[in-house]
Amino acid sequence: MIMKIKDLAKIDRPREKLEKYGPDKLTNSELLAVLLGSGVKGLSVIELSKRIERVIEKNGADKISLGNLLKEKGLGKAKAMQVIAALEIGKRLSSGQKSEILSAEDVWKLCTDIHFSKKEHFIAFYLDTQNRLIERQIISIGTLNASLVHPREVFEPAVVLHAASIIVAHNHPSGEIEPSDDDLAITRRLEEAGRILGIELSDHVVFSSSGFISFKDGNLF
């Protein structure tokens, strides 16, 4: 027997519940039911929403694709695209919030797009006085050495953005995160430049897909 919206007590119907109590009182499947509006042949919107929720949980909200949803029997392209669009706009809006960076692990998590890159990326994180991220910028791509990473390229955006401090990071495509001599030279050079400008170099994080090392935690500068 298909459980339809009209079979529920009025106060348990997703739209009515949202109107009276607000969105934070609804389950994920109830929020999906509000978004979808109606079910499909053989499935009420409540049952359909629960199935979609399971698919999202299985694949992860950040990795769910249109193809994942279309494998669900009875779910048409239009409703699947509604779900994908809602997840994407939620991701975009939430990414507009300032992240607080308190550790090397925070930096590592903010570099997931580079974890598996086969090229070295040198990245700068510009922070305000509360250690909140103002902006992340990729400074250079390619094999790093002390001559390629110039303090001007790192600190010029810091001045423009009125950053109080910066954290730099770069990946080792080899997977080996032990700092090289060039890594140490780059860090010392940037630390000195920051001291002159009054913009602290808070840390240098070297990372791979499987882990990271903090110059600050390792007392490397």
Q: Does 185 lie in the same domain as 138?
A: yes
Domains identified in the chain, total number:
2
The two beta strands, 200-207 and 165-171, are parallel
Other CB atoms within a 10 A radius of the CB of residue 126 amount to 23
Residue 221 is assigned to a structural domain of this protein: no
Sheet with 133-141, edge to edge strand ranges: 133-141, 121-127, 165-171, 200-207, 212-214
Residue 146 is assigned to a structural domain of this protein: yes
Amino acid letter, residue 112: T
The per-residue pLDDT for 107 is: 92
Measured CA angle at 11 (ends 8, 15), to 5 deg: 85
Cβ pair 84, 75 in contact under 8 A: no
Q: Does 73 lie in the same domain as 14?
A: yes
Provide the sign of the torsion angle of the four alpha carbons 200, 203, 206, 210, taken in this order: negative
Q: Which residues contact 84 (CB under 8 A, 6 or more apart)?
A: 64, 65, 66, 69
Q: Does 204 lie in the same domain as 177?
A: yes
Alpha-helical regions (H) of the chain: 14-21, 28-36, 45-59, 66-70, 77-95, 104-109, 151-160, 181-197
Q: Does 137 lie in the same domain as 77?
A: no
* Boundary residue ending a domain (43, 64, 95): 95
Domain extent, residue 177, equals 104-214
Q: Does 71 lie in the same domain as 16?
A: yes
Residue 25 is assigned to a structural domain of this protein: yes
* CATH classification of the domain holding 156: 3.40.140.10
C-alpha distances out from residue 20 to 10, 25, 31, 37, 38, Å? 11, 10, 14, 18, 20
How far is it, in rounded angstroms, from Cα 115 to Cα 183? 18
Residue 38 is assigned to a structural domain of this protein: yes
The per-residue pLDDT for 93 is: 62
Q: Does 114 lie in the same domain as 19?
A: no
Residue 201 is assigned to a structural domain of this protein: yes
How far is it, in rounded angstroms, from Cα 104 to Cα 106? 5
Q: What is the pTM of this model?
A: 0.57
The per-residue pLDDT for 10 is: 57
Q: Does 210 lie in the same domain as 108?
A: yes
pLDDT tens for the chain, residues 1 to 221: 455 555 565 556 778 877 877 877 778 888 888 888 877 777 778 888 888 888 888 888 777 888 888 887 777 888 888 888 888 777 766 666 667 888 999 999 888 888 888 889 999 999 999 998 888 998 988 876 554 688 999 999 999 999 999 999 999 998 889 998 889 999 999 999 999 999 999 999 999 988 999 999 988 87
Residue 219 is assigned to a structural domain of this protein: no
Q: Does 113 lie in the same domain as 77?
A: no
